[in-house]
Every structure is written in C-alpha cells, then in structure tokens.
Structure 1
Amino acid sequence: MINPWSSAQYFDYEKLIKEFGIQKPNNYFNFFMFRRHLVFGERGLEYIEYAVKNKIKFNAMTGLMPSGQMHLGNKLSIDQIIYFQSLGADVYIAVADLESYATRGISLEKAHETAVNEYIANYISMGLKPCKIYFQSENFDTENLSYILSNETNMNELKAIYGLTDSSSMLHVNSPLIQAADVLHTQLNHLGGPRATIVPVGVDQDPHIRLMRDLAKRFRIYNVKIEDGKISVYIKGSDDPKNKIDMAIKLLSGHGYECNANYEYRAIYVKNSSPEDKIKIDIDLAVEESKINDFAFIEPSATFQKLETGLKGGKMSSSVPDSLISLNDSESEATRKIKHAVTGGKQTVEEQKKYGGNPDICPVYELYKYHNSDDKYVQRVYDECKGGVRMCGSCKTEAAENISAMLKMLGEKKDESLGKLDNYLIKRSS
C-alpha cells in the first residue's frame, strides 16, 4: 500500500506503474524533469496537453505541509508548478495547516510562520509569479466543499485506500477530503469554472489523486465514454433526462458533431467522433454542465515525480537532518552535509578508476540530476563517474559549490520576496 504519511522510500517505479495503473508520460512537455524521466508517471496529463495546445486556461495546484523546513526534495513540485505557470496555468497553492495539525499536532500559528518563512519566500525567490496561496483553515470554499465531498465517500473506502482504522482520529479521516477540496474547489464557477487541473506530486500522494479523481467523476451529470472507437455520453440521475440530453446535443451539434439520442437509456451517441475527441467533448460538456451543476468538475490530472534520495540513503526526512538540505541552510551547512553524504562510488580511488562508480544509486549525483537544468553538464557528470574519471571527493565539492550558489541566491532574495507576499496570499473567503 502506498501511504501518503509513511516515511518509506519507493524505488521500483515500474512496479508502481503496473500495479496502480499509472501511465508513462509522452514527450510533449519539454522540461528537464520530463526529459530525464524524473517525472515517471501521470494520470490524465493529456488534458493539460490539450489545454496548452489549444490555448485553453488551465489550473496548476499544489500544497505544502508546514511541518518543517523546505528542502531539496519538496522543491521539485514547485519546479513543475513554475514550469506550468510559464505555459499559462493559473496557480493555486494550499498551505495544509489543518492536515499538519491533524497528523502532526502543529498549531495553526506555527504552521503560518513556517509556511511563510520556510516555503513561500523560497517559492517567490525561485521565480513563482503572483498566484493564489491560501491557508486551509482560512478558506471557506475548501471547508464547504470538503463537507460536501464527505457525502460521496465512506469509511470503508477510506480504510481501503489509506489503511485507516477505527481508532484513527476524525480529523485524520477528514484530511484526504480536505485535500480533495483543495484541488477541486479551484474549478468552482466563481473561480473560473471547470478546467483541466494539474497536480504535481510524489508517488506517495497517489492515494489522494485517485480519491479526488473518483470524487470529481461522482459529481458529474455527463459521463463521457469511449465505446467501439466512438464517443458516448451518459446522463446521470433518475429524473427525466430530456432537457439535459437536448442541451448537450445542441452544444455538440454546434461543434460539428452528429448525435443520436436515446432518452430511455439516458444516452447520447456521437456518430462522427473518435477517441481523440473525448477530451474536447468532456471539457466542453463540463463547462456547459456548470450552468446547472455547481460541481461539474473535470477529473484533476497528476504528474508523479521520483522521490529524491536522502543524503544518507533512503527517504529525505526532517527527523534525520543530515539526510536533506534545507533551502534555508547556510552554504557551509549544506557543504558539510554533502561532504558526509553516502555515494555510489567504490571503496578506494584505485577501484573507482578501474571499475567506475554507480551514479544510478548515488545521492550526490542526484543533486546534479534533480537540480541542474543543463542536460549536457549532467550527462557529463554521469559519464565521468561511470568511466572512472570522476572521483567522489571532487564530485562532492563540485555539487556543494552548485547547491551553495543556489542557496546564496535564494538567501539574497528572501527579504525582497517577503515584501511581495500581498501579491500571493489571499485572505479568508466568506
């Protein structure tokens, strides 16, 4: 079971793809995390590709857990968010202060301080443009929607997904619904209505993604399916479907589709369609449906990134401070941690020269791979290690210089970034 609250590290990504039905991304997005397969999987990413190709507004959503320092491992989601923002996404970021209280006992006041100083200031310094950042405890839309979503699930489902037990606190039980509301509320009508929405996450968050995609589907009136290579649309409910069918046929006919209606089976059959039309029809119908359904959500899309290995091996963890580099670490502290990191090198210099190292299991090499956008440079580091040209000591020194330069840049921008908070933080909605 993949557990969002576990400290386990995941390495067998092929197994995860096979067992959980995760898709491999294509080569459409020209971003280093895609090029290097650091984004190893996705759900529904074709909706984002469609939105970008057709210049349709879409959302990019992520959250932050204000329970400790922002480190290199949780920088990766923001790298993607900034990339999708450059493609035209409207960005939303939720500060999970309610979840941090539920699962880690952190006060709302402490969560606010940590979020601003450890995370948001760094986001802005990294290049995030003005967007909508809010605290779960201060967002009425999230509170209200999480309550509504709770009517569409039950304890048996949550136990199966998350391994919750009868002794789990109700706040812990509710936290997945709050996360689902964080993502889905960005599609409410007063915020722009139904849109494709991308959520970059580590694979440990896939249970949340699966739940929110299922919840989004349960609220839809129009269910778009591919049957025998054609598009069929089924209308949910037990009421007379005539008005809803006629409304959909009018829309689809206006877009050049020929439709047959079956009122008895609550169905529309789109004759001159192909599987490639599914996304367009689904998005168009969701927008039309939002006129009569406040919760006409498009299933959110997700990218799954490989989890960066901790400097001591295993998962980066705040409980093991030397396993990670905080973005607020001093240059000297970061250098010390890197110098003491485990590597994929051989026991002696002679063996390293003769047999080469193994960058594929090396946390120091990952500092290059995950945090430097120069493909040629990163490939050279890899080849030199494998070929026995690069020694671990000098490689650590070079990595430390690169990371220190980044930390210095972030530190120099911090005061300026904190002065821009009003362009990012949104006040309590009501």
Structure 2
Amino acid sequence: MHIDPWTSDSIKDYSELKKEFGIEELPEISEEIPNSHLMFKREIVFGHRDFDKVIDAIKKGDEFSAMSGFVPSGEPHLGHKMVMDQLIWLQALGGTVFVSVADMEAFAARNIPRDKAKKIGRDYLLSLIALGLKEKGSYFYNQSEEKDLEDLAFELSNNINMAELNSIYGFEGNVSLAQMYSTAIQSADILYPQTEKFGGPKPVVVPAGTDQDPHMRLVRDVSNRVRLFKVEKNDSKMIIRSKEANKDQLIEFKDILSNSGDCSVFEEHIEIEEYRDEEEIRKKTREFELDQGGYGFIQPSSTYHRFMSGLTGGKMSSSVEESYISLLDDPEEAEEKVMNAKTGGRSTLSKQKEEGGQPEKCSVYELFFYHLLEDEDEVEEIYDNCVQGERLCGTCKQEAADYLKSFLEEHKSKREEAKEELDKYM
C-alpha cells in the first residue's frame, strides 16, 4: 500500500492500513475522557500513534499541545472541518493549539506562490475561528515567516537522508529539492510546540487523515535522532545511552540520578538497577538534556480519521468542485450539490421500498454521520429507516441540504466577525 500527503485521498482497507504501517487501535476514549468527541464515539477517528500520552496529560491536567498544518491549495471544506473540530475539542480539554499555514509546502509541492498561499490560508484560519477556536491557547503562523521554525527545520534536515525520504514518501527522480526539504519543514512544524520558545518538551498530538502518516513516521524518527540520550528499559534495569554526550557528562548525570536507583556509569551509557520511578527518570533525562543544549523532544502523537466520500461518488477531490462542500460555499449552491449527490438508494422507488437503501454507500448519509447530527438516536433512526425501505433519498437530501444551508449561513456570519480577530491569533 502506498500513501503520501500529496496524492492519497481515499483508502479502501483501513484494517490493512493499520496492519502495514503499525497504526494502533484507538483506546476507548469515551471511557478515558469526559465529553468525548463524536468522531471518536462513531469511530470516524479509527487509529492513533501514542495518543495515550495525550490522554494521560489530559487526565492529570498536565500541559499538552495539538498541532495541524493546512496546505492552502484550495478552499477549506468539510474534510478540513474534521481536523478543525478536533483541534477545538482538544483546546477545550486544556491543550494549546498550533496552526501552520503551509505556504512553503504549497509552493514546493503544488507550485502555488507563497503570497497567494498566505492569502488562501487566511480562509482556513477564519473558518477555524468561526467554528469556535479561542484566541487564548492558540498560535497561528505562516511557515515562511517563522524564523525559529526554519532554523529548527535546517537542524532536523541534518538527520534526514535521501534513502529515508524515498522509502517513506516514494519520491522519484523528478521530485524537486524544495519538495524534499518541505518534509523537514513539516517535521519542524510538529516539533515546534516543544521548543524552548513555547516552554519545552510536552506531549503533542496531530489530528490527521491517513495521507499525513508519512509525515508522522518521519518526525517520530527524527525526534529521537536529535535527542542527546536514548532511554531504554527491561525487567530489571533502565539504560540511558549517550548519543552525543561525553563521559564527563555521563558522570555528572549519574549524580543527578543518584536518588533514582543504583547507578553505574559505562563508556557510553548509564545503567540503573531496580529503578524506582520510570517517569521521573525520563523527566530528569529530558531536563539534563535541555541544560546541555539539547531539545529533549517527546515523540509526537497522532490520531487518524477516515476520508469522506465525494458527493459525486468515489473519492472527494479538490479538483472536482461538485464532489465536496466548501466552507465558503453559498448556501444555495451547497443545497444544489446535495440534491445532485450520489446516494445509496436503489434504481427505482419500488426497489427502494422492497430492498431498502444502502446508507454505508451513501454520501448524504455520511453528511449526517460525520457533521450534521450529534444526536445518536437521530443518526440511528435515519440508518434503520433507510435499510428498511421506509426513508427515500429525496427526504434525506432535503434534510441534509436544510441543515447545511443553516450551518453555512451562520458560518459566513461568524467568519465576518473573525476577520476582526485574526491578527490576535497570529
């Protein structure tokens, strides 16, 4: 299976995806966190990498961040709203939200001039504010205007090689150097919340579609490579291996760890017998690393949501305007798209009543399931009535269109209000 952030926008088998790329099953979030988001309850978010770290921080009231970048190549649409909704939810749970307008990636991968990308990017940011993201606990930026980010990307790129990029992204000979370098910028985006500028290491989660997983695999590897120490454990001891530190630094660190267990210093590592508190040892390692000029990064986490189907059938495509609902659509235009959408209905009215519809193949039902209805009983009733032949496609289309028109009218009004606030978020 091949996935990449620039050409993948549909997945046929999510089970195979998880198996091949090592994406973990999602824990029962609703049992772990109060006010679980409906995307988790309905398993629209289906997998994760290390999200347990963020859950733990939420439960303890510890600091954590959520981060996402938007490549401004077209209008923000309901697919982007899935990420925005998660960012707003995570902020409400105590997280600081970082949002990058990926103008450098837009230029490198899609040849969109950076000034144009920044202008398009404002539409994404305005929609995010209109949907409910608060100024307090938010940090918006354009990639090309963040000098500290570019410095971090340059340092990270020293730990990335061509063979790795080819393996992860499937790059071929015609890929530009700029597009290759944009992968380091993406890694810097994800690690940026953990830099000294924003208070140092902390759990960070990136809500994403599965097409973004290559970025996550790269940044998780790179975040380890730039560490000064590697912490390992087995049943009887913890081992702190030096990646850059010298013997004198190891001896100095051993003294700091003296209360953590019986420590022994070797040429390139420290062993701690019968360690007492693993979390405390990892914390002390990061703190010492920061004192020595390192980063002490915690491997970033991610969650993955399913792709929505296109309204015209098959995949949703930014190049086919009728296949998606833009957050900038005129409400009447959105209604027309929904009324013309492909459904899971049968070919004739009599067959629909006799055999029932197929909501699992219906783009209109997905609108209810992903975005329009929060009430579980209402969603279940639509599903059951459809498969029993008691609900016709025209009814669903009109109801979905009415919900969307109301949402877009309100969203348009809130976007106008957000224009007065945007600069405060940057």
Q: After TM superposition, is the score higher than 0.5?
A: yes
1:249/1:283 CA distance change after superposition, 3 Å:
closer
Deviation at 1:225, TM superposition (A): 2.8
1:288/1:356 CA distance change after superposition, 3 Å:
farther
One-letter amino acid matched to 1:406: F
Residue 236 of structure 1 is matched in structure 2 by: 243
Secondary structure of 1:307 counterpart: coil
Q: What do residues 342-385 of structure 1 show as CA deviations (whole Å, max 9, x unaligned)?
A: 11111122222222211112111110111132222222222221
Q: Which of 171, 177, 187 is 1:180 aligned to?
A: 187
2:272 paired with 1:269: yes
Residue 83 of structure 2 is matched in structure 1 by: 77
RMSD: 1.9
Residue 146 of structure 1 is matched in structure 2 by: 153
Q: Which of 64, 67, 70 is 2:70 aligned to?
A: 64
Q: Which moved more, 1:181-190 or 1:350-359?
A: 350-359
Residue 300 of structure 1 is matched in structure 2 by: 300
Q: Which of 236, 258, 263 is 1:260 aligned to?
A: 263
The 5 Å alignment of 1:24-103 reads 24-27=25-28, 28-29=32-33, 30-103=36-109
Q: Indicate conservation of the 8 Å contact 2:153/2:184, yes or no.
A: yes
**What fraction of aligned residue pairs are identical, expressed as a percent?**
39
Residue 316 of structure 1 is matched in structure 2 by: 316
The 5 Å alignment of 1:27-426 reads 27=28, 28-29=32-33, 30-116=36-122, 118-130=123-135, 131-228=138-235, 231-237=238-244, 239-240=246-247, 241-243=249-251, 245-246=253-254, 249-250=257-258, 253=259, 257-264=260-267, 266-269=269-272, 271-272=274-275, 281-283=281-283, 285-371=285-371, 372-425=373-426
Deviation at 1:291, TM superposition (A): 2.1
1:74/1:259 CA distance change after superposition, 3 Å:
farther
Deviation at 1:4, TM superposition (A): 1.0
Q: Which moved more, 1:327-336 or 1:357-366?
A: 357-366
1:352/1:231 CA distance change after superposition, 3 Å:
farther
Deviation at 1:151, TM superposition (A): 0.5
Task: Tell me: higher relative CO, structure 1 or 2? Use CA pairs within 8 A at least 6 residues apart.
Answer: 1
Q: Indicate conservation of the 8 Å contact 2:239/2:269, yes or no.
A: no
Secondary structure of 2:75 counterpart: coil
Q: Which moved more, 1:169-178 or 1:311-320?
A: 311-320
1:280/1:210 CA distance change after superposition, 3 Å:
farther
Q: What do residues 366-424 of structure 1 show as CA deviations (whole Å, max 9, x unaligned)?
A: 10111132222222222221222211110011111111111111011121111001221
Residue 428 of structure 1 is matched in structure 2 by: none
C-alpha distance in 2 between matches for 1:355 and 1:119: 42
Q: Indicate conservation of the 8 Å contact 2:254/2:265, yes or no.
A: no
Q: What do residues 310-338 of structure 1 show as CA deviations (whole Å, max 9, x unaligned)?
A: 11122221210000000010111011101
Q: Indicate conservation of the 8 Å contact 2:51/2:302, yes or no.
A: yes
Residue 11 of structure 1 is matched in structure 2 by: 12
1:318/1:245 CA distance change after superposition, 3 Å:
same
Q: Indicate conservation of the 8 Å contact 2:227/2:294, yes or no.
A: no
Gaps of 5+ in 1: 426-430
Q: Indicate conservation of the 8 Å contact 1:47/1:279, yes or no.
A: no
1:171/1:247 CA distance change after superposition, 3 Å:
farther
Gaps of 5+ in 2: none
Q: Indicate conservation of the 8 Å contact 2:88/2:133, yes or no.
A: yes
Q: TM-score, normalised by structure 2?
A: 0.93
